[in-house]
């Protein structure tokens, strides 16, 4: 099975960047050589991770990184998106941990040697535990600790990085981590989510300013995830419910960055759920981006509710992936077009898109045609959005390889490369070959 796009597609050009993505906690292991982070602590708690696993070894990338760069190179991608583990490069006293820094310097140098562009995310959820002990993202000081970390690490990495993202998916850190409590640090309560979100956005803005100073030649921005909200019926009550959900989960993170304000929904939230906004915060948060990273996996459907702003309706009788997310490529093109209509966007990179599938390895092969179909339909959706005028410059598959899928542990596989966690042997899946062949046919 092949992946292909219409002949005239802009994505068939070598000017369009294709890559693969990972994140530090999900692949590195090497837990003894760094400070503990909130995910280490969360994994140790009963009942938080479905298979009771943790990130102690993960894909052992800390030892296998050279082989992994060869693997990335063998796929023929233009770029690799990775994240820096804050607790690996910073010590308790806030100064640099040189051996951790050296790990990334060597990795980035090897990628550069292979002519692979480096897209570095500075925070993909692994907050040092000692900062959580002081309140984590509920504490405004964490935003300034992030600023200091960004200052030190970007100076240390010099000109090795083509693109920096401050944060990955602040929605997940804020809502899943401090409101729903299903991600680290596992804090639950409606009064916390928007407070955490505000400090994350502040951290982003402070980070952007440091990047402009320390790394003016890289493309600097942020990665946001979107799960477009659809009404269950075309009743006005359901439509309003879906709009509110969209504001609460999606627009909440992009609007302050683009427009310097939260959605009006803020006025409908009880005072105790409001963020703690200081004068001048929005000027910092709305610092100009060089690019916006967008992650898309699925949509969500909402209906009206008597006591809440909205109620999510779980997918029923629709195609889903192994993690239960509806396969809805149309939502992807709609999302991109609607963001482009709503905001004056900088250039867009699709920084994550992909699918968990119940892969079976047989005779050293994984024939994941369902994942190939997912990629095909979602690449078509990106292409549609480009044809409708959205300025999209690149696309990253999530993920390079199977890895620690947060609360799902190792039970969900998102890789285009299969990982046998017993032997750490990597096997390129059929989707990996399809992606490779598609990328390498470009002219
Ligand atoms: C995103 C995360 C990424 C990965 C995918 C499946 O929300 O950024 O780390 O877990 O989901």
Q: What pLDDT does residue 302 have?
A: 98
Q: Burial of 105 by CB count in 10 Å (0-12 exposed, 13-18 middle, 19+ buried)?
A: middle
Provide the angle, in degrees to the nearest 10, between the axes of the packed helices 252-259 and 190-214.
Answer: 40
Q: What is the mean pLDDT of each run of 10 residues along the chain (443 residues)?
A: 96 98 99 99 98 98 99 98 99 98 99 98 99 99 99 98 99 99 98 99 99 98 99 98 98 99 98 98 99 99 98 97 98 99 98 99 98 98 98 99 99 99 98 98 93
- Let me know if residue 426 belongs to a domain: yes
pLDDT score of 103: 99
Q: Where are the beta strands (DSSP E) in 198-341?
A: 219-226, 229-231, 291-296, 300-303, 311-313
Query: ∠ at Cα 34 (33, 40), nearest 5°?
Result: 115
Question: What pLDDT, on a 0 to 100 scale, did the predictor assign at position 60?
Answer: 99
Query: Would you say residue 4 lies in a domain?
Result: no
Residue 59 lies inside a defined structural domain of this protein = yes
Between the CA of 224 and the centroid of ligand 1 the distance, in Å, is: 11
List, in sequence order, every residue forming a beta bridge with 221; answer none if it has no partner.
165, 291
Q: What is the pLDDT of residue 314?
A: 96
Cα distances (Å, whole numbers) of residue 279 to 89, 199, 389? 32, 13, 36
DSSP for 37-66 reads: BHHHHHHHSTTSSTT---SSSTT-HHHHHH
- Residue 105: predicted pLDDT: 99
CA–CA separation, 227 and 250 (whole Å): 7
From residue 135, how far is each of 48, 94, 129 by CA, in Å?
20, 17, 10
On whether residue 402 sits in a domain, the answer given is yes
pLDDT at 206: 99
**For residue 1, is it within any domain?**
no
Residues 6+ apart with CB under 8 A from 436: 74, 75, 76, 428
Residues written for the chain: 443
Q: Under 8 Å CB-to-CB from 105, ≥6 apart: which residues?
A: 156, 157, 160
| Protein residue whose Cα sits closest to atom 4 of ligand 1 | 405
Domain count, the chain: 1
The pLDDT of residue 276 is 98
Q: What is the pLDDT of residue 404?
A: 99
Q: What is the pTM of this model?
A: 0.99
Tokens of 420: 């046998």
Q: Which of 169, 179, 312, 405 is catalytic?
A: 169
Atom of ligand 1 nearest to the CA of 26: 9
Write the CATH number for 428: 3.20.20.80
- Look up 169 and say whether it is catalytic: yes
- 323 C-alpha to center of ligand 1: Å? 12
Q: What's the pLDDT score for residue 128?
A: 99
- 123: β partners: 167
Q: Count Cβ neighbours within 10 Å for each residue of 14-47 and write b for 16 or more, e otherwise.
A: eebbbbbbbbbbbbbbbbeebbebbbbbbbeeee
Spatial separation of the C-alpha atoms in residues 204 and 438, rounded to whole Å: 35
Contact 140, 203 (CB under 8 A): no
List the catalytic residue out of 132, 179, 352, 405.
352
In the beta sheet, which residues pair with residue 163? 119, 219
Centre of ligand 1 to C-alpha 168, Å, is 9
Q: How far apart, in whole angstroms, are the C-alpha atoms of residue 207 and residue 151?
A: 8
Evaluate whether residue 3 is within a structural domain.
no
Segments in 297-420 forming alpha helices (H):
329-342, 369-387
Are 119 and 162 in contact, with CB atoms under 8 Å apart? Answer: yes
Ligand 1, residue 412: give the atom nearest the CA: 6
Contacts for 98 with CB less than 8 Å, ≥ 6 apart: none
Domain that holds residue 384: 10-440
Question: Can you give the pLDDT at residue 75?
Answer: 98
Q: Does some domain include residue 378?
A: yes
* Residues within a 6 A CB radius of ligand 1: 23, 26, 168-169, 172, 225, 295, 352, 398, 405-406, 414
How many angstroms does the Cα of residue 388 sit away from the middle of ligand 1?
27
Tokens linked to 286:
């709305």
Number of H helices, E strands in the chain: 16, 15
Note the pLDDT of residue 86: 99
Provide the pLDDT for residue 44. Answer: 98
Alpha carbon of 176 to those of 130, 194, 411: distances in Å? Answer: 20, 11, 19
């Amino acid at each position: 099975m092949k992946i292909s796009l219409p002949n005239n597609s802009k994505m068939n050009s070598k000017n369009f960047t294709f890559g693969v993505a990972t994140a530090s906690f999900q692949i590195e292991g090497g837990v003894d050589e760094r400070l503990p982070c909130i995910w280490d602590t969360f994994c140790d708690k009963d009942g938080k991770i479905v298979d009771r696993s943790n990130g102690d070894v993960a894909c052992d990338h800390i030892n296998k990184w050279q082989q992994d760069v060869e693997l990335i190179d063998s796929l023929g991608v233009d770029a690799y998106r990775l994240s820096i583990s804050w607790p690996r490069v910073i010590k308790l006293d806030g100064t640099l941990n040189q051996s951790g820094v050296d790990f990334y310097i060597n990795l980035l140098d090897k990628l550069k040697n292979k002519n692979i562009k480096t897209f570095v995310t500075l925070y993909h959820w692994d907050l040092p535990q000692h900062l959580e002990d002081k309140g984590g993202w509920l504490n405004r000081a964490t935003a300034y600790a992030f600023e200091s970390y960004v200052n030190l690490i970007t100076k240390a990495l010099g000109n090795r990085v083509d693109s920096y993202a401050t944060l990955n998916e602040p929605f997940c850190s804020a809502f899943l981590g401090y409101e729903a409590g299903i991600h680290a640090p596992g804090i639950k309560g409606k009064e916390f989510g928007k407070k955490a979100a505000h400090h994350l956005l502040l951290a982003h803005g402070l980070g952007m300013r440091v990047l402009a100073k320390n790394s003016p030649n890289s493309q600097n921005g942020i990665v946001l995830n979107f799960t477009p909200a659809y009404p269950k019926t075309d009743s006005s009550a359901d439509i309003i419910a879906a709009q509110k959900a969209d504001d609460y989960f999606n627009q909440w993170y992009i609007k302050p960055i683009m427009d310097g304000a939260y959605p009006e929904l803020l006025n409908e939230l009880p005072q105790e759920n409001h963020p703690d906004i200081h004068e001048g915060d929005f000027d910092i948060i709305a610092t100009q981006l060089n690019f916006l990273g967008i992650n898309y996996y699925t949509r969500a459907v909402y209906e009206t509710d008597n006591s809440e702003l909205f109620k999510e309706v779980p997918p029923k009788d629709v195609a889903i992936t192994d993690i239960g997310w509806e396969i809805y490529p149309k939502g992807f093109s709609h999302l991109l077009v609607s963001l482009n209509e709503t905001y004056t966007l900088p250039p867009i990179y699709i920084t994550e898109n992909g699918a968990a599938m119940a892969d079976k390895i047989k005779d050293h092969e994984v024939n994941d045609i369902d994942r190939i179909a997912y990629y095909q339909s979602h690449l078509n959706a990106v292409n549609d959005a480009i044809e409708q005028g959205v300025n999209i410059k690149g696309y990253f598959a999530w993920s390079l390889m199977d890895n620690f899928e947060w609360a799902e542990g190792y039970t969900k596989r998102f890789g285009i490369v299969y990982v046998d966690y017993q032997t750490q042997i990597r096997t390129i899946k059929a989707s990996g070959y399809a992606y490779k062949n598609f990328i390498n046919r470009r002219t």
